[in-house]
Amino acid sequence: MEGDIFGELGNTTQVDSRILQIFQKNLLQAQDILNQNRLLINEINQNHESKRPDNLSRNVGLIRELNSNIRRVVDLYADLSGSFTKSREASSEGDSSGTLKSDGKISQKRIRST
């Protein structure tokens, strides 16, 4: 993904806005790839139905491209999942004396009872 989503943002609104931008960018990227996959699948099906040797040979490359695209979508969704988890941890931990470090990890501070 685009590096650390929490970077040096101190304001919760800025963090939320940045996370939203990253989610939107990755979701749009995934949707573009999925649209491309639909076109690839249609072409693969047409080639298969034609039973022409050159079309069937072309399917090998198309299927490889399709597999590569699927891996990219999986990676994008994994990044989204990780980012969402970090943002949820930051928002819930941030309210209970956790501080967000610039590396995106939460440092828990223990509050002593007096």
Q: Can you give the pLDDT at residue 29? A: 96
pTM, rounded to two decimals: 0.64
Give the domain range for residue 55: 10-89
The Cα-based distances of 90 to 11, 19, 38, 53, 94 in angstroms read 12, 12, 37, 56, 5
Q: 4 lies in a domain?
A: no
The string of pLDDT tens digits covering residues 15-74 is: 678 878 888 999 999 999 999 999 999 999 999 999 999 999 999 999 999 999 999 999
Report the domain count for the chain: 1
Q: Is the pLDDT of residue 79 over 60?
A: yes
The conformation of residue 7, written as its DSSP 8-state character, comes to T
The string of pLDDT tens digits covering residues 82-106 is: 888 887 777 776 554 444 444 444 4
